[in-house]
Amino acid sequence: MTDTKGQILGFVRDRYPQAEITESQDIFALGFVNSLFAMELVMFVEKTFGVTIPNEELRIDNFRTANSMSELVTRLLAEPAVA
């Protein structure tokens, strides 16, 4: 597991410690996501990995699993910064 996935999973598990969550599990299907958690999740990703998630990337498929969030971070880090 990459460090990115591990940190994302750590954040989700910290918020929902009673749940067993793997890197490929759909957190939406598990019923964990409300608007408060979504906001916290996006803030965590932006703060932890030093990225700004543009509106067009705020799609459900990018946040379903730790895998998909990790891929989003990798993609954003690879893109040149836009002023």
Partner 1 sequence: MTVTGVAPPAAAPPVPAAGTARVTDRRSARAFVDTHVAPYADAYDRAGRVPEELLRRVAEAGLWAPFLPPGAGGTGMDWVTLGEVHEEVGRGCSSLRSLLTVHTMAAWTVQRWGSPEQRERWAPAFAAGERLGAFCLSEPGAGSDTSGITTTAAESGGGWALNGVKKWTTGGQRADVFLVFARTEASIGAFLVPRDTPGVEVRPIDDMLGTRASMLAEISFTDVVLDKDALLGPSGFTAGMVLTGTLDLGRYSVAAGSVGIVQACLEASAAYAASREVGGTPLARLPLIQAKLSDMVTDARAARLLLAEAGRLKDAGEASTIMATWVAKYFASTAAARHASEAVQIHGANGCSTDYPVARYYRDAKVMEIIEGSNEIQRTTIAGQADRERTG
Note whether 56 binds partner 1 by CB under 8 A.
yes
The three-state secondary structure class of 21 is coil
Cβ–Cβ under 8 Å, residues 24 and 42: no
Cβ–Cβ under 8 Å, residues 15 and 37: yes
Nearer to partner 1, 21 or 38 (CB): 38
Alpha carbon of 21 to those of 6, 18, 49, 54: distances in Å?
A: 11, 9, 21, 27
Cβ–Cβ under 8 Å, residues 30 and 19: yes
Note whether 20 binds partner 1 by CB under 8 A.
no
The three-state secondary structure class of 54 is coil
Total residues contacting partner 1 by CB under 8 A comes to: 26
Q: Give the interface segment with partner 1, choosing from 2-10, 37-45, 70-78 (CB under 8 A).
A: 37-45
Note whether 3 binds partner 1 by CB under 8 A.
no
Nearer to partner 1, 11 or 23 (CB): 11
Residues that bind partner 1 (CB under 8 A): 11, 14-18, 28, 33-36, 38-44, 46-47, 55-56, 58-60, 63
